[in-house]
Amino acid sequence: MENTRIDALRKMLELSPNDPRLRFGLAAEYERLGRWELVVDELREYLALTDDEGNAWGRLGNALRQLGRDAEAREAYRRGIEAALRHGHPGMAAEYEEILETWDD
């Protein structure tokens, strides 16, 4: 049975396909369910629509890592570090740097 929040977000996206908040919300719902390919798809849509402050890049990195797409995941974390620093979130940047430094291949 499909999640009612997902259904509601999909319906809202039909009316406002370029609303980044809806894309992020849908990605978060898929993330909660462990539907990593869908998380990646929605976060990529979100990131194409807005200047993220780092959070979505980190979530994208995690989703890609869950799928074993390590090179893409590392790049997402690097982009997350750049975005976090650009928007004044040094703690987030440090978290992503630590992930990259402690990465086990």
Across 1-5, 57-61, 62-66, 99-103, least confident range: 1-5
The pTM score is 0.93
Work out the angle between the directed axes of helices 20-33 and 55-66 (0-180°, nearest 10): 40
Secondary structure class of 76 (helix, strand, coil) = helix
Provide the Cα torsion 34, 2, 13, 47; round to 10°: 0
Contact predicate 29/5, CB 8 Å: yes
Of 22, 104, 40, 24, which is closest to residue 76 (Cα–Cα)? 40
- Structural domains of the chain sorted by starting position, each given as residue range(s) with its CATH number in brackets: 4-101 (1.25.40.10)
- Residues 43-71 pLDDT 10s: 999 999 999 999 999 999 999 999 999 99
